[in-house]
Every structure is written in C-alpha cells, then in structure tokens.
Amino acid sequence: MKTYPSIFNDVIGPVMRGPSSSHCAASIRIGRMCRDLMDGDIQEVYVEFDPNGSLATTHKGQGSDMGLFGGFLGWEAYEERLPEYLIAIEEAGIQVKIDIHPIGATHPNTYKLTLSNRKESRELTAISTGGGMIEILEIDGAQVSMAGDFYQTLVYVSSPGSIIEFIETSMPCDDIALRTGKSTFIEIKANQFLTAEICAELLQMEEVLFIKKINPVLPVMSRKDLEVPFITCEEMLAFNADKNHALWELAVDYESMRGNISRAEVFEKMRSIVQIMQNSIDLGLKGTKYADRILGPQSLGFQKQLEDKKLVEGDILNQVILYTSAMMEVKSSMGVVVAAPTAGSCGALPGAIIGIGRGLALHEDELVKAMLAAGIIGVFIAAHATFAAEVGGCMAECGSGSGMAAAGIVELKKGTLDQSLGAASMALQSSLGMICDMIADRVEAPCLNRNVMAATNAISCANMALSDYNHLIPLDEVVETMKKVGDAIPNTLRCTGLGGLAITKTAKKIEAMLNQQEQEANKTFFKVC
Ligand code: SF4
C-alpha cells in the first residue's frame, strides 16, 4: 500500500525521552507491538542483532534496550520510568537474552525477536528506519509491512476458507491480506479493530484458531488510497502556481491531506509541539543532571560568559547556541524532547527557531509557521533520503535539521518561498558527507557541537538566501545527492562507533570509564553473548 511521510509521524516527533529516536523511540514502538502480539503477556524474549548492523555495538548505549524493554512493559516514549527499565523489566518477570550473531540482516537497525509465554511463542522481525519510524517486516516467518499507522487485526487460521470474503462484507477495511509463514494468518489494516461481534462470529468458524490485535503506535494514521498534493519540491511549486502560498501554508496543505485532518488541527498540533520544545529549552537553561553521561551542563558556562559579555558579539546567534545546547542537554539527561527530525539532532531546529523567535520578540504563531515550513522540507528528505544516521551519517540527522531550520528562519524573517527553498538547499549542501562517530556510544559528543554547527549554519544560509545568494542546485537534487552520499559513507562512519572520533584514544578511555562505572553499579542483569 502506497504511503507518504507525515510531518508529525516522520519529521517533527515523537515526543520522547532518551538519547536517540532511531533507538529509543523506535524500539519502544517495536516493543509495544510485540506486547500486543503476545496479548500483553511476555515472559521471555530472545533478541538477535546482526554483527554487521549498528545495533550490535549501540543497542545499550544509545537506548535501544531501554526503549525495547519499555515497549514490552507497554510504556510510552515519554515515560518517566524509562531510566529504570532494567529494574522494571525484572520486577515484571520478563527474562531477556540478547545474542549478537549473523542473522542475514540487510538493514543496519534490524531487530529479530522471539517472544514466549506459557501458551505460545511468536517471532517478529522489525527495523528502525530513522527518527523513531519503524517497519515490522515479518511475523512468524510471514512477510508483512506494518508501520504502526493502522489498527491491525491478525486472524490466525488453519486454512483461509472464505474468511477473507466474510471480513470484506462485514466492515470497511483498508487492506486485507493472507500471510503465510510458520503460521497462516489474515492481516487486516483498518481505522479500527474488527469489532467484538465480528470476532465472535469468526471464532465460531472451525478454520479460525485465534485473533490478535495490534494497536497503532503513530500519531497520524494512514489509509487506503492515501494521497498527498505533492511529494517533491518541484511538484510543490507546480501545485502552488495558482495559489501563491507561503511555505508554511504549503506544509498545512500537505499535512491536512496526508493525515485527513483539518488545517486548523495541523496548526494547533504544531503549536503544541512548539510549546513542548519551549518548555524543554527553559528546563535545560536551569541546568541538567544525569549520572550516565559524558558531558556536564555546558550551557550554564556559556550563559554566564554571555551575561558577562565575554563572548564574541552576536546576541541572537549566541542565544541560538545557548538554546541548542540547552535542548541537547535535556535530551542527554533523559528529559522530554521532540525528535526534530531525530533525538540526536533535537537541538538545532528548535534552538534556531525559538532562539531567533524570542530574540526578535515574535508571536508564538510565527514560531508555529516556521516549524511548519521546516516540517515540509523534512517531508522531502524523509521521502527521498533518510533521517537515519545508520544509513546516512550525521548528514541525515544534523544536516537535515540544518536544512529544515534554514527554511524556517527565512519564514520567521518573512522571506519568499524561493528564499526558503534556497536556504534549505544551501544548508544541506554544506552538510553533505557529515559522518556519525559518537563517542562512547552516547549521543552527546560530537552531537552537541554538530547540533550547534547545524543551527548556526542554518542562520548563515538563511541570511545568504535572504540576500538572494544563488544556491544553484535545486533542493530536490540536493536531497537526491544526500541519498547517494549516504550510500557511499563507509559503515564504520555511520553510527557504529567503529570509526572517526569514536575510536580515538581519548574516546576509548571515556568508553572504558563509563563501562567500569556501569559494571560497578551492577546494572547489567541480562546476558549478552
Ligand atoms: S554524531 Fe550526529 S548522527 Fe551521530 S549520534 Fe551524534 S547527532 Fe546523531
């Protein structure tokens, strides 16, 4: 079934805690879907990661274990107890074993899971595709494609008989398909589960064995025959030929059609996201604390130097650096952030938009418009490149955040549509090939300075665009190039911790020290082979 990115699903969101959206938020969604598949009763989980993937080296430090275990417990991505996931999973009596061995995974973020309880054992393979997005690829050896954007009913059968016809005539569904692997089941995607009455009738049929219900995990649902007004920048300009809409209005045009929600609802949803971002920055400015962390609250020192007028002048630029840092520090201390476009790059976009918006004393509506403008740039990236550092390096995370922020800043300054697109193009051009080499498997360094670079690059590119600098390469072609450049970045420099700064002598020392601290805290109770 054809689907398209949603600003709120794929680009600006989820609202979450933890260092990485492609690890914490994605794995919590996978874990929640596993829990539903097991009817809320999980006793044992066998997790397999491929040694050639990113998860083999990052599953613990970047929070995949935390998210996955939280999902098994039915938690949300912003759950306060997430840092206590090991205690909670033990108290829940769920035994987890993690093995790292070849599983033939073709995606770097592949989870192969075997879930058991007293009654049954089920298998599920899923991938995290970046920014908290997921896809379930297999259930019980049968190929599926579930992104968590439908209510999914699985009717397990001994043989399909005429069950599909019965369901088709019983209620409107978006998709009904027979899936065959180690088990045979009929997968039904709809905007609600099969009703209790229909399920009762099905269970009377001798071919029907049992029924499973998997809840959606995304905020914006999909549907059959989903359409969007455009999916490239070129198509957007053609769509706008007789409208003369600003970029933020085009974002509303897109998202209201994508999500089947009103224009006002799109605007207000973005307002609530902007408010969460503002709260997170304000929290970060007060200073943050968290034990399992490399850097302390760097932003406090910056704030002091700024107040004492000891920094190179540039009030708004410095405010953006401060806000970006504060947001990153909230993330690193397990506070609530919005992945925008990812948790690792959650600082640049809000740091720039809110820093400039407050610096210029703009009304909140202007921040919402800027964030919408940034969101539609992110849609093009999500549709034609990636936000996953495991696939496209830091270019995919901070580079994308920079391109999105640049377009939003032009919107704040009431620039033209062409200037917004030019700013995004230049900011992305400046970010091509940026590697991901986080230190000690924590999404803190060089992530903090990369976010600051992304935010300040966005300001430079917005100002260049507002002065009509010629960006030469159209945005669509830059996004296509991001995809090709990402494919050319070696695996060691794509969020595996196997290259770049991550393998410097100092980084290795930091890593050893953190591991030592962790062992002393005796936090590890599950076996990693
Ligand atoms: S280096 Fe960039 S891509 Fe890698 S974890 Fe840090 S912010 Fe994310």
Average pLDDT over residues 203-229: 96
Residue bearing the CA closest to ligand 1, atom 3: 394
128-142, 242-256, 284-298: least confidently modelled range: 284-298
pLDDT in tens, 492-503: 999 999 999 999
At residue 521, the pLDDT reads 67
Query: Can you give the length of the chain in residues?
Result: 529
- Distance from C-alpha of 184 to C-alpha of 95, rounded to nearest angstrom: 28
Atom of ligand 1 nearest to the CA of 396: 3
Average pLDDT over residues 88-104: 96
At residue 63, the pLDDT reads 87
pLDDT in tens, 455-474: 999 999 999 999 999 999 99
55-64, 266-275, 398-407, 514-523: least confidently modelled range: 514-523
Confidence of residue 396 (pLDDT cuts 50, 70, 90): very high
Where are the alpha helices (H) located in 216-262, listed in sequence order? 233-239, 247-259
| CB 222, CB 3: distance < 8 Å | yes
Amino acid at 216: P
| Assigned token pair, 314 | 């540039």
443 Cβ inside 6 Å of ligand 1: yes
- Distance from C-alpha of 428 to C-alpha of 386, rounded to nearest angstrom: 13
3-class secondary-structure state, position 16: strand
| CB 34, CB 357: distance < 8 Å | no
Residues 6+ apart with CB under 8 A from 443: 19, 20, 62, 331, 332, 343, 344
Q: Is the confidence at residue 528, as pLDDT, over 70?
A: no
**Tokens 């966005």, residue located:** 458
439 Cβ inside 6 Å of ligand 1: no
- Nearest C-alpha neighbor of 105 from the set 126, 121, 131: 126
Structure letter (DSSP) for residue 149: -
At residue 519, the pLDDT reads 76
At residue 60, the pLDDT reads 86
CA of 325 to the centre of ligand 1 (A): 14
Q: What percent of the chain has pLDDT over 90?
A: 90
Q: Which residue has the higher pLDDT, 157 or 525?
A: 157
At residue 253, the pLDDT reads 98
Angle at the Cα of 313 (from 308 to 314), degrees rounded to 5? 120
- Nearest C-alpha neighbor of 246 from the set 407, 137, 396: 407
464 Cβ inside 6 Å of ligand 1: no
Where are the alpha helices (H) located in 430-474, listed in sequence order? 447-466
Atom of ligand 1 nearest to the CA of 434: 2
- Distance from C-alpha of 142 to C-alpha of 154, rounded to nearest angstrom: 12
Q: Is the confidence at residue 417, as pLDDT, over 70?
A: yes
Residue bearing the CA closest to ligand 1, atom 2: 394
pLDDT in tens, 299-349: 999 999 999 999 999 999 999 999 999 999 999 999 999 999 999 999 999
